[in-house]
Amino acid sequence: MIKTWYVVPVRGGSKGLPRKNARLLGDKPLMSHVLTTLKTVDKPEQTIVITDDEELEAIAEKEGVRVFKEPLTTGKATLDEVCLKILPELEGLGAKKDDIILTIQATCPYVSANTIVKARDILKKEGGGVLTVMDDRHLNWTVNEDGKPQPLYKERLNRQYLPPNFRESGAVIGSVIGLFKKTGTRINEPINIVEIEKKEGLDIDTYADWAVAEHYQNQRKILVRADAGKTIGMGHVYRAITMAQEMAQHELVFATKNIEGDTLGRDFLMQYPYKLFEFNSDKDFSKFAIEEGFDYIFLDQLSTTRDYIRDLKKSGAKVITFEDLGTGAIEADLVINDLYKISGLSKDKQLYGLKYSFLPPLFQVIDPQQNVKKTIDNILILFGGTDPLNLTVKTLESLQSLKYKGFVTVVQGMGRLDREINLDDYQLEGRVLSNINNIAKVMREADLAFSSAGRTITELLMMRVPTVCICQNERELTHSHASQRYGVHNLGLGNLISNDTLQANIQFVIENLEFRKMMHMRAKEAMDGHSNRAVIKHIANKLGDNSL
């Protein structure tokens, strides 16, 4: 049976970063990170630490691995020479010529068990040598024999179109022992490479490298589920992306449920540079979460069940849900509701109110309206991504009946693009927009807005735009932010509002300047000082993790 011997060289001296192998990275010495990983790969007695330092020897012994004391690890001898010198001791432990020797650099703390196993298995199958590499495609130059600069590329191309070019990471190098003994080098034919990402290839040599290592140490693995579609709307994925931008320093994975014949959610999420997992059922999603392992799971999918949340927590992750009115809220570690409060859920387990809403980044940059105009010259209509009750048309018809002469802007969501709007049909002047990136600017220009009771209301409040709300469904009736308390004129459920009632309310708001000033003032009071970063800090405090 072929055995693998894992050799980890650790020197006591280091000019770039003194005593780095003993220095604490997180809660343990730098060298212990690799040793901990190796214990998940193979038997501890097959890991050998080579060192010239008594403190490092003690750390290795505490990890339960073998230690060889060697003075050749002073930096002058090559690692090949060191490994050749300790080969007799390996043979004394039972190492044979068909066995494998893998050197693992302790200064590469994030090399994964998967990479080490992959290198080992390649050698078992192919023989020869193996080494880890990183993609290093750049427009590189050299200097020729005459001392003149010379390009190492044939044509100038964007990085992704350059031919593959790898550099050794040094994290893992190995060979079959018999070949190594014969050639004196671990680099033997056939040479095999294992490509790794930057994190795994990080080799700590300077204080700058250490700062990067600490960044990775504080990095969390986060799974965000956000479902979307013509029926459930786009609000979930909009919020998920906004939240992700505040946690971009972490490793983020998005997940969305496949809905037959409806690719709205997937198409939207694919525009962003995050890993995307598509699934067909809650069971598939839970399986993925458990297998991949995450620190946190954020769920933006409305109601959940207790069994579903319990399954997710088997992964060891903390589970955070949004607007969760299901029984799963009881099992979740935290529930975030900017729209309504969940009765029966303790304060420790929920964040409730407008201050916990996530807004697109532009809303943090563009200044809101400072004053209310005397006349309504610009009306904005935006009823979400799908507008299932077709409230856009209902509002346009009312404006037509009122013979409104100002400018109208209609924003159509991705889910209702099949219902074309032509303002000429309503004798109205204006424009129809869709899939826009500057919605904050569009809102700020409006003198009056019409919207359903979703997250758009919060955005309009942030811009201090007087807003008339018409609810799409009974759930929206529970959204406390769409109320007079915050300066929103809520007319109730859209399919119960007659055309006469809608027209009368529109006329009232247009003609009543003092009422609009009150709406503006209450919006200002509700949203002053709001920021997405502050919301993340509130979440971090509740979860007891300042790294978020």
Amino acid at 76: K
Amino acid at 490: N
Which residue's structure tokens are 């012994």?
61
Which residue's structure tokens are 């919060």?
458
Q: Tokens standing for 441?
A: 């600017």
Q: What's the CA gap between 468 and 490, in Å, rounded?
A: 6
Dihedral angle over CA of 50, 55, 60, 66, nearest 10: 50
Q: What is the pLDDT along the chain (548 residues), one digit of tens a residue?
A: 899 999 999 988 888 899 999 999 999 999 999 999 999 999 999 999 999 899 999 999 999 999 998 765 445 668 899 999 999 999 999 999 999 999 999 999 999 999 999 999 999 999 999 999 999 888 989 999 999 999 988 889 888 888 888 999 989 999 999 999 999 999 999 999 999 999 999 999 999 999 999 999 999 999 999 998 877 778 889 899 999 999 999 999 999 999 888 888 889 999 999 999 999 999 999 999 999 999 999 999 878 999 999 999 999 999 999 988 899 999 999 999 887 788 888 888 999 888 899 998 889 889 999 999 999 999 999 997 788 899 999 999 999 999 999 999 999 876 666 678 999 999 999 999 987 878 999 999 999 999 999 889 999 999 999 999 999 998 888 888 899 999 999 999 999 999 999 999 999 999 999 999 999 999 999 999 899 999 999 999 999 998 88
Query: Which residues, listed in sequence order, are joined to residue 130 by a DSSP beta bridge?
Result: 174, 192
Domains for the chain: give ranges and CATH numbers.
Answer: 4-216 (3.90.550.10), 219-358+536-543 (3.40.50.11190), 362-527 (3.40.50.2000)
Three-state DSSP at 120 gives helix
Q: Tokens standing for 207?
A: 């204080």
Amino acid at 272: Y
In sequence order, the 6+-apart residues with CB closer than 8 A to the CB of 278 are 255, 256, 257, 258, 266
Sign of the alpha-carbon dihedral angle for 526, 531, 535, 540: negative
- Report the run of H or E that residue 35 belongs to, with start and end: helix 30-39
- The angle subtended at Cα 352 by Cα 346 and Cα 354, nearest 5°, is 170
Which residue's structure tokens are 């889910």?
415
